[in-house]
Amino acid sequence: MTDLPVLSILILLPAVGAVLTPFLRKDPIVRWFSLLVLFADFLLALWVLLNFDPNTAAMQFGEHRVWVPNLGISYRLGIDGISVWFVVLTSLLGWICVLASWWSISIRVKEFMTCLLAMQSLMIGVFCALDMILFYILWEAMLVPMYLIIGIWGGANRVYAAFKFFLYTLAGSLLFLIGILLLYFGGGQTFDVLALMEVQYPFPLQIWVFLAFLVAFAVKIPMVPVHTWLPDAHVQAPTAGSIILAGVLLKMGAYGFLRFSLPMLPDASQYFAPMMIALSAVAIVYGGFLALAQSDIKKLIAYSSVSHMGFITLGLFTFDAKGMSGAVIQMFNHGITTGALFLFVGIIYERTHSRDIAAYGGLIKVVPLFGILFAAFLLSSMALPGLNGFIGELLVLAAAFGVSGWAGAAGALGALVGAAYLLGVYRQMLLGEVKTPGDVFVWDLGRRELACAAPLLLFVVWFGLYPKPFLTILQPSLDHLMTQLNPTAVTP
């Protein structure tokens, strides 16, 4: 372990980039500068991962600076085996977002890249924060650049979508703040996350805080019935916005459950588990059927996210070692796969300006490289055995059957419907007679686009066959979480 404040550097590097970007003159320089900053950030995150000690559940790379002493607020950072993966995921998607916006963002490039860099800084901050107020500030601040990304560089209906996104998440966040204050005054008298985990709260208080947190996290995930902002936001957002939304922002809701609700409010979590499992089952099936009915490719992927995020909450609330590790690995894999799907939709949209699935056909013949890679990501999303989606799905389902046959059956139905709509896209867009919207010319992937796809594909294959590195790093933290949830349980 070194004395360098690595996590702070990881967070501040993009922030400094965001501050410097407005002073750059030309668009190409802005693009290259943002790319370099975010790629350096990614390399640093990889360094953190390689130096991460997988044998302990304790927070690593910890930093602590007093911030507002008389309120007990401090600048406290640290990562464990869960959050380290989301730091890696965020930093990976960061530079991919820059590449994905290389030409598709042609107006206000400077401002756009500033937003992206700021977003990256805030998102990594969220996953590293170990002080409730710091977490809350970063969590809220993220709304602003995201709002701008959708509202300025989005599609025709961007203002409506951005506003809806803003309102939903803001409403949730306010309750989150109330929950934090309840925890503070209810016994902790501190905002230190680790200290709050040690406090034994009375059951009624746990119930209220859980519900307050639930609203905030459920909106972010999103769970049915507060999911309606997601399709609008995805459809209107530029490609990079969709990648960030699907890849990182949705994970934050589930991360909230892992970091706060489960360890701090174990009794309430147990109490609400049946409801959470039922809501997850509904999301899996309902989201799946909604996706099946879509003709707009971005909407289809958005609804598929609702369904797939249902698997994650289902796994979390089984309180089973398999289910929870399945949920976390599914969080990571969903970020990779859905990020890749939005990337590829963006690539084809850039060429044709159409999201209508039925307007395409036979793309694998015209643009074979695009076709084969897009097919691989669709199959990964479908959880084909051997690709990354399957591991999480299998683990979550195995655990779900241990809790309730109905939850398991809903999961299986969701998987079946998932196969139906994803194979439907595969068949319609890639196979059959060659057609493109308006018969425009489409060209195959360039080097820049391949550079975006390659690392994502690597994870798709790697974690499909050999997820052990992921699980090894994850396991101690998850075991620790299990003991916090149920002090008598001894996990093997």
Partner 1 sequence: MEFLLSIRPVLAIAVSLTAAVLILCLRNRANLRDAVSVAAAVVKFLIVISLAPLVLDGGTHDLTLFEVLPGVDFAFRVDALGMVFATVSSLLWILAALYSIGYMRSQNEHAQTRFFAAFAVSLSAAVGGAFAANLFTLVIFYELLSLITYPLVYHKEDKASWAGSRRYVVYLIGASKSLLLVALALTYHLAGTLDFMPQGVFGGTDASGALLSVVYLCYLFGFAKAAIMPFHAWLPAAMVAPTPVSALLHAVAVVKMGVFCLLRVIFYVMGVDLMSSLGLAIATAYLVSFTIVMASIYALTRDDLKARLAYSTVSQLSYIILGAVLLTPMAAVGGVTHIAAHAFSKITLFFCAGSIYCASHRRNISDLAGIGRQLPWTMGAFFIGSLGMIGLPPSGGFISKWYLVLGSVEAGELVFLTVLLASAVLNAAYFLPVTYTAFFEKSKPPQGQTLVAMQDVREVPMVAVPLLITAILSLVLGLSPGFFVDLAQLVMRGAGLG
Out of 26, 64, 353, 468, the only residue in the binding site for partner 1 (CB under 8 A) is 468
Interacting residues with partner 1 between 305 and 364 (CB under 8 A): 322
Nearest approach, Cβ of residue 384 and partner 1 (Å): 6
| 420 lines the binding site for partner 1 (CB under 8 A) | yes
Task: Round to whole Å and give the CA distance between 317 and 273.
Answer: 6
**Residue 369 found at the interface with partner 1 (CB under 8 A):** no
Of 423, 451, 454, 489, which one interacts with partner 1 (CB under 8 A)?
423
Give the residue with the Cβ less far from partner 1, 353 or 468: 468
**Contact status: 431 vs partner 1 (CB under 8 A):** yes
Least separation in angstroms between CB 468 and partner 1 = 6
Q: Does 24 bind partner 1 (CB under 8 A)?
A: no
What's the CA gap between 294 and 292, in Å, rounded? Answer: 6
Q: Which of 186, 266, 339, 408 binds partner 1 (CB under 8 A)?
A: 408
**Which residue bears the tokens 């995201």?**
146
Please count the residues of this chain forming the interface with partner 1, following the rule CB under 8 A. Answer: 36
Residue 175 in the binding site for partner 1 (CB under 8 A):
no
384 binds partner 1 (CB under 8 A): yes
Spatial distance between the Cα atoms of 203 and 207, rounded to a whole number of angstroms: 6
Residues 214-233 within binding reach of partner 1 (CB under 8 A): none
Shortest distance (Å) from residue 382 CB to partner 1: 8
Cβ proximity to partner 1: between 215 and 407 the closer is 407
Position 466 contacts partner 1 (CB under 8 A): yes
From the list 89, 99, 83, the residue with the least C-alpha distance to 120 is: 89
What separation in angstroms does the CA of 403 have from each of 277, 314, 316, 408? Answer: 9, 10, 12, 8
DSSP 73-141: EEEEEEE-TTHHHHHHHHHHHHHHHHHHTTTT--SSHHHHHHHHHHHHHHHHHHHHB-BHHHHHHHHHH
Interface with partner 1 by CB under 8 A: which range of 91-99, 139-147, 348-356, 420-428? 420-428
Length in residues, the chain: 492
- CA-to-CA distance for 94 and 240, rounded, in angstroms? 9
Q: Among 386, 440, 458, 489, which residue interacts with partner 1 (rule: CB under 8 A)? A: 386
Report the residue from 26, 64, 353, 427 that binds partner 1 according to the rule CB under 8 A.
427
Task: Give the number of other Cβ atoms within 10 Å of residue 122's Cβ.
Answer: 24
DSSP tag of 296: B
Of 48-56, 148-156, 394-402, 454-462: span binding partner 1 (CB under 8 A): 394-402
CA gap 80, 84 in Å, rounded: 6
Q: How many Cα atoms occupy the beta-carbon half-sphere of 305 within 13 Å? A: 38
Q: Does the footprint of partner 1 cover residue 382 (CB under 8 A)?
A: yes
Where helices occur in 21-82 by DSSP H, the ranges are 27-50
Check residue 378 for interaction with partner 1 (CB under 8 A): no
Q: In angstroms, rounded to a whole number, what is the distance separating the alpha carbons of residues 229 and 164?
A: 6
Please give the residue ranges that form the binding site for partner 1 (CB under 8 A): 322, 379, 382-386, 391, 393-395, 397-402, 408-409, 411-413, 415-416, 418-420, 423, 427, 431-432, 465-468, 471
